[in-house]
Amino acid sequence: MSEENTVVLTPIPHIGGTLIWYYMICQRELWLMAHALNPDEDDPNIEYGRFLHERAYAREGNEVGLGSSKMDRVIVREDQVIVVEIKKSSRALESARTQLAHYLMELEERGITAQGELRFPEERHKEMVILDDSWRERLRIIKEDIMNITVEPKPPPAKRISWCSHCGYVEFCWS
C-alpha cells in the first residue's frame, strides 16, 4: 500500500462526559465532536444550554473539571459528595443518566464515592443516579464502542433522527 493511501488513526486519549452524551444521542455527532469539528456555537439551543448551565443553581458553585469532563456542580456536605448535572429538559433522560453515571465512575476511579443528581430546572424535577455494577459494565461497553467509532477515518453517514432539528450540526449534515 502506498503512503498516500495510508490512514493514520489516532484514538482520542480520554472519553469525557460530553462524548458519552453525544454517543447516546447521535454517533455522527459523537464522531464530529471527537475530531474537533465543533457545532455551530451560535445555535440558539447551544446558547440557551450554556446560559442555563451558568445561571441555574449558581449559588451552589461552578463547573468542576476532571480529566476531559466538566461536571456542572459538585456539592460536598459533611461526608457526602453529590455531582449535579443540569439539563434544560428530560427529553434525553437516558443520555443524561449515562453522562452522570460516567462522572460518578470517574470519581470512583480516583477513590471518591459520590451520588449523582440530575436537575431539570424548567421542569422543577430532580432524579438521583447511583453508580452500580450494571452502570459500570454498560459504561465499559459504551466507551469501547466510542473508541471504535472515533478511530474511523470518516464520520458515520447522516441519518435523520428526532434530534436533528435541535442540533448544532444540522447545517453540516443536511446542507
1 pLDDT tier (thresholds 50, 70, 90): very low
64 pLDDT tier (thresholds 50, 70, 90): confident
Q: pLDDT tens for residues 100-116?
A: 999 999 999 999 999 99
Question: For the whole model, what pTM was predicted?
Answer: 0.83
Q: pLDDT tens for residues 130-144?
A: 999 999 999 999 999
Choice between 66 and 8, residue whose per-residue pLDDT is larger: 66
- Report the candidate in 106, 82, 78, 81 with the shortest Cα–Cα distance to residue 19: 106
* pLDDT score for 45: 64
* pLDDT score for 38: 77
The contacts found for 45-54 with CB under 8 angstroms, 24 or more apart, are 45/166, 45/167, 45/168, 46/168, 48/88, 49/88, 52/86, 52/88, 52/121, 53/86
Q: How far apart are CA 32 and CA 162, in angstroms?
A: 18
Domain formed by 3-174, architecture:
Alpha-Beta Complex (3.90)
Q: C-alpha grid cell for residue 126?
A: 430532580
Q: Where are the domains of the chain?
A: 3-174
